[in-house]
A and B are shown apart, each in its own frame.
Chain A
């Protein structure tokens, strides 16, 4: 039990420790610094990889082997593994609480994997290498912490920890308008953080662990101290930041989060909305997305890879890990809102991408469009009162989660290939490329694989998530599915047009034609790794689903259970509309929509 916590802590803090060690390096030893950074990320990747490798002999005499055996992640288990809480700030019941399940595991692996590639891509950064590497490693700690923290306060701390290095990495190592972009990134994210903080406090002060039945408290992995306190009789409520306990509180009958707070809406509704906006800024969804193109255009290549590949995923992760389980009522009532933002992002991002002249900006807008699929998939609450068959909903959620991983690979790849060209010819004007195929054939082949993965070509990773999300959206609302499917055409349009303008054609007529040298081995390895990953996950999606699906399905089943109970309560109360209850009008709307004759 503790071994798991220690292991996860090592994973989280090893990069920070590496950063600490780097401080003692002389700043001119750039080669050593870069290699150390790469080495640290590689070790972290191997450690996280340990989670998914099969177990060793359980009864080994060698204690190291025993520990390595214990820290594996059992595939097919829906629950949290290695979850263990120790008190951190006792007076507020804040725990140091890490754990991993099928939802966070793929994201943790994606983080450690992309960090290695981004560290390898950081050779192109030549300014203040030491400071850059330190910030880079701190960033990795923040990201891993966000995905592994199961205490809301700890989550928030990691969320902020990740924000600062990112600000400096864009603001110092970025392009000409780096300061504007960095400030914009920082302020947008900070607004999100503030909204999240309000929601955290709302939930914290509404929570009371004592209301949970004892077995639920045990399942929440409460720390020993809180557990003991919760058993002692007292009038004072026992607040908690424990995400699992909060989810259990949110889904229990007579949930404390159903208290109305403002405008007749409950804590759950408001907390959902605040958290949602906070996370959607990160995703980013239209209309709070404009920090993304600027941040990407200015950020150095490896930072763009991290930004698109991992940071955006935190938004989606937050929505599935925090918003829905803790505030199901808000999720149910605001499903249309989430879906609307998702679909608008998909269409708007694709259209905006089509109009760009800057290669990197185009890729940035394609991220907005692709993350729209994630939002749509998460939002399509396709369960209707009276129809409790959650399999389409599961399909959508799994599709959205898969799309996050797929987008992590394809977008990181796209930013990398853009960076490769930029390093050579120092411009990104789409109208001044062409003929790269003749000059750099291997590079072109790898780029085309990555771009087609983004296009959603079957056999590559982008397809699985997109198609599942569209299927799931269809069962939620046919109109949404029609619009969503039309984005496929737009995506094909802008990606093929880009490929044609950049790679195909007779000759390169832009500046610095002499600099178009073939890929270096390091660059080849990065691009090839991403291409191979795109193919592997496209052909063998079970590689992700076998870890992810049980946990996602558990989340959905719990919500379906909650909904069934809530609807029964609602029916029992004879449609006396309690403001915080499911609104009868809306329920009936949804029902009639579902059963509407389709002829």
Chain B
């Protein structure tokens, strides 16, 4: 166990090295920029260190768990290493932490990511050398008509690359879904920064925004998936975990298993043991946590919600729109983030949470993968920007991976992830080399570059052959041949058991032909024929060693990644086979538009399936290649005429199936409209009410004041005036002469007597009269 216990530590250091590099360059970047390439060396050293440590860790792992042709018979049962490094927060049995979950897949991803990242760091020395001094950006015209001159940002570029390396490795090693989500967002933000690396270009910053926001739409689903699992299982850990008070709790995979075998569902009693812990006496008893709200239906919903995140990250239909725009970033970034590693994270996550996925979810994965791979392949047919062709090709290949996973081919789908990483990084770096030489992305401006840049041309040809799946049927081929055949075989098997989804297989086959066509179209347009722009051709040159060496290394792996090590049975697919997990309810019938069966992957290895599929795929590839030769290689037919002929279809493809327009109308404009309505409500309704309430109160106050003055005061004043007037009037009688007063007294008294006698006398008469 001792050699294995080193593995997490090694990977921890490998993970932290790029972070250290990021922090260092972040703090000293402006200083390093004046020191030339220092930042590049630091970042490259960090990622290369990660690569070496990953290789050592992988060696330790596979030394302990060697690859046997029949791994069940190996001496130790294979158990992923898992544990927590760092606790973010803890609420009872809920633990939000950062930790590690290590199996063969993790290690393979670690090695692959750090290896390709190292090559791309080296490549960037050449590609980004302009950033070492002041840059003149001809794409940005300032207000006064001049082009932009700005200081170079060499250090900033490597700073972002380091942050990306850290985030990607964190995403790979995550032992719980929250950690996955944390690094999921962080790779997203690195992608945002790197797409918008040329911050002065409006197209670049808008592409960065688009990438992040579209990804957030996917993450919206992912958060809900996390919430669903957390509130039903009380955990987001894959495997069992330990809280600070020492109690052990079961992880998500265990709950999913319990769903699958309801009979064996354990009562939430203290100290009940999971199946895994029984098989391994070293693991302590595990307590189930959470209120056990997990139902099959909730698991389906959670799977679909998590899938949303994967669709966003891996640019699958309908969230694929950001990836082509993301090509605004520097080409090494496109190669590393938007081809080899980050966009594959969605596929990786589907592979990682495979034990949680029900057949319903897998069908959705397969269907979306198929739609994506076909749609992207058709758009790639008409694109003229060399990087956009590759971007759509990436989307299409990711669709293949999703399709492989969705039809039950866990190894097949992830195998293609690895081979694709090599040949697509190669193709992007090759295109970067071409762009570097020509200063343009437009293929119609290129042509005949084979003479000028032989290394680039030949390595790219290898890349094209690899992605097209070239090989000699039933024997061997480029890496893409092995992985794509594995996927197609699985899809074929799937289509034999689920007839109503048969179109999936045929679309995948047609798209294989399309792939061969658009890749060779790209190669022929770029490297063959007459130069179409003499000025550009005249200035073109082969790229420096720092750029061609990574190309050659990647070309080597693009060829051999599918092979097994001569004389042994060690191969990439065997290595993945060691980590293979099965989805829920594999090989059992699930009622869903008929009976769906997710076939077992081993059945697709049968010779008869393999032969058939291999030949069909080969035929499709040859067909695509032949058409490319007819139109672009030998130029027997003029593609422009065909475009003329099918102009409607051509325009439809050229406009990328009008997705951007559709989304703009469906989402962007309505949201901005609703936003302005909200702002209007604030001003015109709430504030209007408040202000008018204030006005009303003020009016009331005025009214009150008026009433006070007119009515109350008026009454009082009038009364006073009346009394005053009376006093005035009385004053004239106040003569000061006693006899006058006496006179008035006498008059008064006499009057009183008269009045009294009249009143009473009259009354008396009436009384008398009445009686």
Contacts and interface: CB of A to CB of B under 8 A. Distances in A.
Interface of A: 183-184, 187, 287, 289-290, 293, 348, 351-356, 387, 389, 391-392, 394-395, 398, 435, 437-438, 441, 452, 457-459, 463-464, 467-468, 470-471, 473-475, 481-482, 485-486, 488-490, 492-493, 496-497, 500, 503-507, 509, 541-542, 545, 549, 553, 597-599
Contact of B291 (A352, A389, A503, A507): A389
Contact of A504 (B89, B205, B213, B300): B205
Nearest to A387: B291
Given A391-B234, A489-B220, A492-B212, A471 B227 contact: yes
A598 B682 contact: no
Given A394-B91, A457-B186, A489-B217, 13 more contacts: A290-B690, A391-B92, A391-B94, A457-B189, A474-B228, A474-B230, A486-B220, A489-B216, A496-B192, A497-B209, A500-B206, A505-B199, A545-B89
A403 to B, nearest CB: 13
B84 interface: no
Interface in B257-310: 291, 295-298, 300-301
Contact of B296 (A398, A481, A599): A599
Contacts of B217: 489
B209 A541 contact: no
Nearest to B230: A471
Contacts of A500: 205-206, 208-209
Interface in B228-245: 228, 230-231, 234
Interface in B162-186: 178, 181-183, 185-186
Give the one of B150, B213, B216 with max A CB within 10 A.
Answer: B216
A470 B189 CA distance: 21
Given A435-B200, A500-B209, A492 B89 contact: no
A389 B142 CA distance: 62
Interface stretch (B514-522, B654-662, B669-677): B669-677
A459 B182 CA distance: 8
Contact of A597 (B192, B224, B297, B682): B297
B196 interface: yes
A345 to B, nearest CB: 11
Contacts of B228: 474
Contacts of A459: 182, 186
B88 interface: yes
Contact of B672 (A355, A467, A473, A475): A355
A184 B219 CA distance: 39
A493 B216 CA distance: 9
A598 B227 contact: no
B219 A488 contact: yes
A541 B88 contact: yes
A481 B140 CA distance: 43
Contact of B200 (A438, A452, A481): A438
Contact of B676 (A348, A355, A452): A355
A495 B672 CA distance: 14
A467 B179 CA distance: 12
A504 B199 CA distance: 5
A355 B679 contact: yes
Given A355-B675, A458-B185, A464 B89 contact: yes
A507 B142 contact: yes
B47 interface: no
A441 B93 CA distance: 45
Contacts of B208: 496, 500
Interface string B194-228: 00100111100110110011001101100110111
Contact of B690 (A184, A496, A505, A598): A184
A356 B679 CA distance: 7
A391 B91 contact: yes
B143 A509 contact: yes
B87 A490 contact: no
A474 B694 CA distance: 40
A506 B199 CA distance: 7
Interface of B: 30, 87-89, 91-94, 140-143, 148, 150, 178, 181-183, 185-186, 189, 192, 196, 199-202, 205-206, 208-209, 212-213, 216-217, 219-220, 223-224, 226-228, 230-231, 234, 291, 295-298, 300-301, 671-672, 674-680, 682, 686-687, 690, 694
B210 to A, nearest CB: 9
Contacts of A481: 224, 227
- 9 closest A-B pairs by beta carbon, nearest first, are A599-B297, A474-B227, A355-B679, A391-B92, A354-B675, A458-B182, A351-B678, A355-B675, A475-B231
A202 B30 CA distance: 63
Contacts of A485: 220, 223-224, 227
B635 to A, nearest CB: 41
B interface majority secondary structure: helix
21 contacts: A287-B686, A351-B674, A353-B675, A389-B92, A391-B91, A457-B185, A458-B185, A467-B178, A474-B224, A474-B231, A481-B224, A481-B227, A482-B224, A488-B219, A489-B216, A489-B217, A503-B199, A506-B201, A507-B200, A549-B89, A597-B295
A496 B148 contact: no
B762 to A, nearest CB: 63
A489 B295 CA distance: 28
B196 A598 contact: no
Contacts of A353: 675
Contacts of B92: 389, 391, 394
A351 B675 CA distance: 4
A541 B301 CA distance: 30
Contacts of B227: 470-471, 473-475, 481, 485
B724 to A, nearest CB: 43
Given A348-B678, A470-B223, A506 B671 contact: no
Given A437-B199, A452-B189, A541 B89 contact: yes
Nearest to A467: B223
Contacts of A187: 694
A290 B679 contact: no
Contact of B202 (A352, A395, A467, A505): A505
A599 B185 CA distance: 30
Contacts of A493: 213, 671
Given A290-B687, A354-B672, A488 B216 contact: yes
B231 to A, nearest CB: 4
B208 to A, nearest CB: 8
B672 A506 contact: no
B184 to A, nearest CB: 8
A490 B182 CA distance: 19
Given A464-B88, A507-B143, A598-B297, A355 B678 contact: yes
Nearest to B139: A506
A352 B94 CA distance: 35
Nearest to B227: A474
B223 A489 contact: no
Contacts of B676: 355
Contacts of B234: 391
Given A351-B678, A355-B676, A599-B296, A542 B140 contact: no
A395 B89 CA distance: 9
Contact of A599 (B94, B295, B672): B295
Contacts of A289: 686
Contacts of B672: 354-355
Contacts of A475: 227, 231
B231 A471 contact: yes
Contacts of A394: 91-92
Given A481-B227, A598-B301, A542 B295 contact: no
A400 B493 CA distance: 51
Nearest to B144: A507
Given A351-B678, A352-B679, A482-B224, A290 B686 contact: yes
A542 B150 contact: no
Nearest to B140: A506
A441 B153 CA distance: 11
A532 to B, nearest CB: 12
A231 to B, nearest CB: 39
